[in-house]
A and B are shown apart, each in its own frame.
Chain A
Amino acid sequence: MGQFFNVQDLGAIAPELELMLFGMILLIADLLVEDKKWLGFIALGGTAWSGYFLVRLHGVEVSAYSGLLNIDQFAWFFKLLFLLAAALTIVISLKYLDIEREHHGEYYALIMFATMGMMFMAGAMDLITMYISLETMAIATYVLVGFLRGNQRSNEASLKYFLLGAFSSGILLYGMSLLYGIAGSTRFGDIADALDQRSLGDPISMIALVAIAAGLFFKIAAVPFHQWTPDAYEGAPTSITAYMSVAVKAASFAMMVRIFLGALSPLREHWVVILTVISILTMSVGNIAAMTQTNIKRLLAYSSISHAGYILLGLIAGNATGLTAIPLYLFAYTFTNIGVWAVVVALRRKDIIGEQVDDLNGLIYKQPTAAILMLIFLLSLAGVPPTGGFIAKYYLFAGLIESDHSKLAVIAVLNAAVSVYFYLRIVVAMFMKESNEKTGLALSPGIVFALAVALLFTLWIGFYPDPFISLAQAVF
């Protein structure tokens, strides 16, 4: 047995174990604690403690469980990202769940489990490990999307997300089985070696590649596999939408990068073509569809689709600059997006659904600070300097130019310019329209905290990105 497991390996997955432990504690505590807010604090403590273990693992490079999991800079970075996203999600959920009258302990437990799944995804170097951790994350997320039991849209969203998610997992699994057939092993390294042996146009490898790519495109919500996204994002509790748009998306990208740059690296020539087409479609459809949305959650869903298209550019460029761009982009995007979603969460007030762009009308009169923060976040999403979003986009475009993808770069920057249109629609509502109602945002201390953190990082990355660039450069 020693070959497969030794005690040190437990230390390597300590952060994940911590989350699991806290997930279970939360389930039990739910029975005992009357004021569910405390459960949120316990969950926060869980992420903090897990974070503590993670920080202690910084710089450690080991391969645990005889190569099933890698503890490396890549995994470390993404795990950090997931923990931050989870913590910020919990913080913005506290009051929101009260307003929705759905404050239950499972909510936090599920976030713990989903985050744990993501953290394993980031470390997985093996198809089986990858798939199981993916499903751990996905199943927890399906439940979270349908968490508003009394709300039809939430149920519908959950069902759609579940069906399409299961379907895409099936396709992914099909591709994985083919890879196993080719390599006789589930390890990424073995698969890469086996693919390397075969000719480049080998049909089996191609089918495997297409199936895996399609499954992954579902997960990152790339066009034309994106239809579930607006519905799921709209129906889910807003705090969970925030979580999905940052953490779930980042985890899917981590998985994609691991598989494409690990197992499928010999097929690079083929997948670059696929990714180029998908990336152009994703950016353009996402941006164009976002223009006409009146529901802010759907608008941001389409915006999040188009951002997936941008991130793919990093993989297409494939050089150091482009690869640095992926973690950098995800990092900047996480904070910016949490900021935007925190404002949308605060739009949900007692007796006001607050999901339309119009609900932000005249925010500048009611809560000028919130309006200005939202403006900064939107500019960051649009990639206007001096914000984190600009630095991240800069890296992507620089990667493309450096690797001689000038035409793609032109398409990408034009898309970035066009995207400003719908972000500015929100700005127009906030700054240039009269408000329809007197009630301001439901700003709880948690949301204020999340906004402050989001602002700090959005501007910090924008003004002084050096530390974050080195963080991102260390990833690969």
Chain B
Amino acid sequence: METFIPQELIVERGSELSPIYRNLRRALPQVPVTTIEEAGAGALADARSPDAFGAAKKKLYLMRHRGEFFKKCPGSDGQVCCNYFVINFASNCPMDCSYCYLQEYLQDNPALKVFSNVDDLIAEADRTLQKHRGVFFRIGTGEITDSLALEPYTGMARELIPYFAAQPNVLLELKTKSAAVETLLDLDPKGRVVVAWSMNPERVIALEEHDTASLRARLAAARRCQDAGYRLGFHFDPMIEYDGWQADYQALLEEIFAAVDWRRLSWLSLGVLRETPGLKRRMRERYPQSRLLSGEQVLCPDGKLRYFQPLRVAMYRNMVRWIRRHAPTVKIYLCMESPEVWRQVFGFAPACEKELGNQMAPLA
């Protein structure tokens, strides 16, 4: 993985008072800073570039977030939902996975942004968590960015962990493809923070997960987090089907369970490669040689392309069987799959979204 260094730091006036600004300046003293009055949508667009999405990853904006930070994960129509909440402290990501849904989702607003008003974020989360003490919240920060890819510069997770670690009704999940865990290691997560990695065999990482950490680096980081007292999670998502995938994923599992103690895992998730037809067009434009485009995917009722059902059910069933050899009782769930697929894989489907969410809560 090449170390990401932004070409320019663009700061919206007023954000200089944020601890994130202080962290950025300390970590990136060599990066030129431009101050702008207001980071409206027009100021962020760079229409000159033929690959505006890729170009947008090179400049880092620091600005206030004016909307809500705390949201329910939107899930996907008709699919079993895991009752997950998201906090978006940044938008876009310095990594560039060929299958990334942000290529379509952020097509019109691709600027790489970090939000400076951490105090607002914590205040908003606090209002919700205080008001609903009887509800257990699983909250992730990796919906529209990687939770830790910018951590060496922003220190964002380091700002958030002490607050969330002190809450009785929350699990904060930091989901990443990086190995940037250094700033987390001297904090006490108090059993309330799960550091989770999106995992694929090294062959997939090398071909499709551009500018991400290698498998070895991810596992070394996971081990360090485990030793520092964090719970761990792994997301086999997206699983990619290709000649030899079975051997590669079994070897991947061998490596994972040799590196970490499965009893420290909060959960594992499985999800096959999926994309909307719009994302597929974007992938064709940006990665025309990617062989992901030639998988046997069909359009599902929620508007996403997935490997046809018998194929992906067989993939899930194999993965569950291989995982169980190493981790007999670890919680495994499917991401964005229908009740029918759940039944074919596990023999049951959660009755409602709260059921699945509640199943995960005691695993903290």
A and B associate: no
